[in-house]
Chains A and B, each alone.
Chain A
Amino acid sequence: MKCDEYDVVIVGSGIAGSVMAKTLTRAGKKVLLLEAGLQAGIAMDKEGAYQNYQFYLDTYYKAAAKVPNSPYPNLPDAPSPDVLDIAPIPNSCSPSTKGYLVQAGPIPFASDCYRGPGGTTLHWLGSTPRMLPNDFQMQTKYGVAVDWPFTYYDLMPYYEMAENEIGIAGDVKEQIGPDVEPVKNYGKDYVFPMQKIPQSYLDQTIIEITNGKTVTVELNKKEYTISYVATPQGRNSIPEPAYKYAGVAWNKKTQKLELEKTDAEYDPVGSLWDPYTGQRCEGNSSCVPICPVQAKYNALKTLRTADHDNLDIITQAVASQVLYDKGSMDITGIEYKKYRYGNSPIYEKGIAKGKIYVLAASAIENAKLLLASGIANSSDQVGRNLMDHMVMLTWGLLPKKGFPYRGPGSTTNIPTFRDGDFRKEHAAWISPIDNWGWAWPTFAPGSDVSNAVGQGMFGKQLRDHLSDIIPRQLLLHFECEQLPEPGNRVTIDPRYKDQLGNYRPVIHYNASEYMQRSFEAAKKVSDQLYKAYNVQDFTSYSAQNPDHVQYKGKVYNFAGAGHIVGTHRMGSDSNSSVVNPDQRTWDHGNLYLVGCGNMPTLGTSNPTLTMTALTYKAAEAILKQLEN
């Protein structure tokens, strides 16, 4: 295509950028997409996509530590935050600078993301529960944090669009828990595109372990009944015959995005290189960091179905500054550095021009770009309110074999503490049952082998020992909702720049007492669950782990969930928020921000589904703006 001025310039090809590009190009708008990662990663032809992905896969096989970013190139010209870089922070004057993120502490931010074509969905897990209605009203209901500028019900049509695009497998009827009822939360007769992903044998083992007796736990003198929900997720399963939506389209007449109906059965979207590969989740059990058959959704699937006649993509182009007119405050261009190879400091500068600009570079990067450009910050909220789910893990051995290390990362969650009056005092949490044994906290099963061999075991004894303990491993997550706090934030500092001279994000991060109380509460619940399940607890926390807190004399460790949220919050007035309900910046009439950075609060859901719903809302607003 190649034109001088596009309708819209988008930065980033993650799910936010790709959904935006697809929706706009299909509505006939000319779009330019800037992507920081390597050209090879964006290949859409069969051969190129296949070769590139095999390269990722091979890198993964050979990686010693199979962390989320292990399959993907980490480039000095566009570095990715990496969990392997998490290190103790001696004090706030000497931040940890080991990785891309400059961690000023007091505790290190524990999540990563991927800066490359397709973004972080390449290594996301794909769990996609919706948020709860009460999550949108934390101030009104519980007197903490802020309310969203609209309600859950306002977002419902956009949730349906997001569920269509990602391709959710799940059973609406089974969605229950505090503040969730199928009809109330999903509408009558609503179904997901695909039937639910079967719950794992491990899940079933736990659900049935009390022989039909319901499990109750006590917290602050209140009794709670434990329930189990099959988690909706973005990976392919059997098409749901009753699902009748084809895709999202712009209706010029009504000036709205709409889900188009169809009589055809939903067709699971296979891999980039072969439509017949990945039509079902095949149980590779490696969704994080890479699904070998692409049965799991990733953003490249969306980008591929954009209207490429209306789309230009420039890769190896790192957006470094957003330019604006000091008079009108309109954005006039995005300056980017196009590097030659991922590790050479040689680059050429370019300026991308459009009528409207969209930053979709993920929460930390969006905030950093705004700060580096000195824009959109009249509220002083840019970079603030950085949130994540702080994941407290507990692990033990089941009395019988549940055979973990099989299937998607998690197929069932315990929703019991997702909502309740306790949110006035401490964080709510969701508890996914992890299908991958103790891999996360202990590097099992490799560590089980080395421990046993270290003790002198060999031969049949070793084999029997391992086949006794590994299949009995249980890991529970307590993913605690962090609230927005102004001090948890992204800043920039001229002392810290990357090889291309772009700012590195400086992160200030801590766990407030609200969070610490939730760790204490969650541990109490975990203890009672393990007792009810007859599980031998092997959880151990250590102050050596950089991500620890000490509360009432006890140490707790937490991990990051990868849910990087809140750095450019949305709100109903320009004094206290960065974007309006359409996700347009209050300060600049032609600048939109998309991604989890907009979310005023996090809830207990994995954020990407909600963020994608918001992105459709933003796309609708952009189309309206372009046509008027």
Chain B
Amino acid sequence: MNTNNHATFLTISAYLTGFSETDLLGTGMVDPYYAAIRDNNDPEVLGYFYQEAATILADSHGDEAEINEAIAARLIPDSCYNGIAKTIILLWYTGNYGNDVLSTDSYKEALVWNVAGAHPPGAKQPGYGSWALPPFSV
């Protein structure tokens, strides 16, 4: 494992998804997603992607607005790095890589359910009668 890229993956994932690094770690999906991105992309393009992401993170010294601006300009456009940034976002939010569910765990940890105030259908059930109340997170 390339520890630099791994660290960059986690940090840039946090900016791409809007979730904190701790939240992402708590899903247990950092390693499998890192591996999925590694295994499904041209290593050269991916290398440039991580380089660019690391540069963005280093140059802006944690200034969020600046980082977001740079991400929007240099990672998000489809012309950049085969759309890896979008793939990463979709992976985190839906657990799908392309049209495929990556794994049982990725299905259960998809962030979209969290932002919806819900839970993945068929998993993490919230208990009898929970649906009659607003979600606890609200």
Q: Which residues of A contact B (CB under 8 A)?
A: 57-58, 60-64, 66, 198-201, 204, 237, 280-286, 290, 292-293, 401, 403-408, 411, 435-437, 445-446, 448-450, 453-454, 456, 458-464, 466-467, 470-471
Q: Are A283 and B127 in contact (CB under 8 A)?
A: yes
Chain A residue at minimal CB-CB distance from B77: A456
Whether B34 is near chain A, meaning CB under 8 Å from some CB there, is no
Whether B132 is near chain A, meaning CB under 8 Å from some CB there, is yes
Most interface-central of B90, B99, B122 (chain A CB within 10 A):
B122
Residues of B within 8 Å of A408, CB to CB, are: 131
**In the bound complex, CA of A466 to CA of B138 (Å):** 15
Q: Are A459 and B100 in contact (CB under 8 A)?
A: no
Q: Are B17 and A282 in contact (CB under 8 A)?
A: no
Which of A199, A436, A454, A466 is within 8 Å of B115, CB to CB?
A: A466
Chain B residue at minimal CB-CB distance from A282: B125
How many A-B residue contacts, CB cutoff 8 Å?
A: 152
Q: Are A456 and B76 in contact (CB under 8 A)?
A: yes
> Closest Cβ of chain A: how far from B80's Cβ, in Å?
12
Which of A60, A64, A463 is within 8 Å of B122, CB to CB?
A: A60
Chain A residue at minimal CB-CB distance from B87: A453
Q: Are B121 and A62 in contact (CB under 8 A)?
A: no
Known: A403-B135, A446-B112, A449-B112. A458 touches B117 (CB 8 A): no
Contact with A along B108-138 (1 / 0, CB 8 A): 1000110111110111011111111111001
Residues of B within 8 Å of A60, CB to CB, are: 122
**In the bound complex, CA of A449 to CA of B16 (Å):** 13
Q: Are A406 and B119 in contact (CB under 8 A)?
A: yes
> Closest Cβ of chain A: how far from B89's Cβ, in Å?
5
Whether B8 is near chain A, meaning CB under 8 Å from some CB there, is no
Which of A198, A290, A471 is within 8 Å of B116, CB to CB?
A: A471
Q: Are B118 and A406 in contact (CB under 8 A)?
A: yes
Residues of A within 8 Å of B112, CB to CB, are: 445-446, 448-449, 466, 470
Which of B108, B115, B121, B134 is within 8 Å of A285, CB to CB?
A: B121
**In the bound complex, CA of A99 to CA of B124 (Å):** 34
Beyond A403-B135, A449-B93, A462-B18, 19 additional pairs, beta carbon < 8 A: A64-B100, A198-B129, A199-B132, A201-B132, A282-B127, A292-B125, A293-B125, A401-B117, A403-B116, A406-B119, A407-B130, A408-B131, A435-B131, A453-B90, A459-B17, A459-B18, A461-B18, A463-B17, A463-B19
> Closest Cβ of chain B: how far from A68's Cβ, in Å?
13
Contacts of B93-114 to chain A: CB distance below 8 A? 93-94, 96, 99-101, 103-104, 107-108, 112-113
Q: Are A458 and B76 in contact (CB under 8 A)?
A: yes
Whether B71 is near chain A, meaning CB under 8 Å from some CB there, is yes
Q: Are B128 and A446 in contact (CB under 8 A)?
A: no
Whether B68 is near chain A, meaning CB under 8 Å from some CB there, is yes
**In the bound complex, CA of A196 to CA of B47 (Å):** 57
Q: Please list the 5 inter-chain residue pairs (A to B) with the smallest Cβ-Cβ separation, ordered nearest first.
A: A407-B131, A286-B122, A463-B18, A405-B118, A198-B132
Whether B36 is near chain A, meaning CB under 8 Å from some CB there, is no
Q: Are B134 and A201 in contact (CB under 8 A)?
A: yes
Known: A61-B101, A62-B101, A459-B18. A445 touches B125 (CB 8 A): no
Whether B85 is near chain A, meaning CB under 8 Å from some CB there, is yes
Known: A62-B103, A201-B133. A285 touches B71 (CB 8 A): no
Whether B45 is near chain A, meaning CB under 8 Å from some CB there, is no
**In the bound complex, CA of A290 to CA of B120 (Å):** 13
Residues of B within 8 Å of A450, CB to CB, are: 90, 94
Which of B71, B76, B113 is within 8 Å of A405, CB to CB?
A: B113
Q: Which residues of B contact A (CB under 8 A)?
A: 15-19, 68, 71-72, 76-77, 85-86, 89-90, 93-94, 96, 99-101, 103-104, 107-108, 112-113, 115-119, 121-123, 125-135, 138
Chain B residue at minimal CB-CB distance from A449: B93
Which of A63, A198, A437 is within 8 Å of B101, CB to CB?
A: A63
Chain B residue at minimal CB-CB distance from A439: B121
Which of B15, B107, B116, B130 is within 8 Å of A470, CB to CB?
A: B116
> Closest Cβ of chain A: how far from B126's Cβ, in Å?
5
Most interface-central of A283, A290, A435, A461 (chain B CB within 10 A):
A283
Q: Are B119 and A285 in contact (CB under 8 A)?
A: yes
Residues of B within 8 Å of A61, CB to CB, are: 101, 104, 107-108, 122-123
Q: Are A62 and B104 in contact (CB under 8 A)?
A: yes
Chain B residue at minimal CB-CB distance from A200: B131
Known: A280-B128, A283-B130, A407-B131. A446 touches B17 (CB 8 A): no
Residues of A within 8 Å of B108, CB to CB, are: 61
Q: Are A462 and B89 in contact (CB under 8 A)?
A: yes
Chain B residue at minimal CB-CB distance from A291: B122
Residues of B within 8 Å of A466, CB to CB, are: 93, 112, 115-116
> Closest Cβ of chain B: how far from A16's Cβ, in Å?
27
Residues of B within 8 Å of A201, CB to CB, are: 131-134
**In the bound complex, CA of A254 to CA of B113 (Å):** 56
> Closest Cβ of chain A: how far from B94's Cβ, in Å?
5
Which of A66, A200, A462 is within 8 Å of B17, CB to CB?
A: A462
> Closest Cβ of chain B: how far from A171's Cβ, in Å?
14
Residues of A within 8 Å of B19, CB to CB, are: 463
> Closest Cβ of chain A: how far from B45's Cβ, in Å?
19
A-B contact pairs, 16 of them (CB 8 A): A198-B131, A199-B132, A281-B128, A283-B129, A292-B123, A293-B125, A403-B118, A406-B126, A406-B131, A449-B94, A450-B90, A453-B90, A459-B15, A463-B19, A467-B115, A471-B116
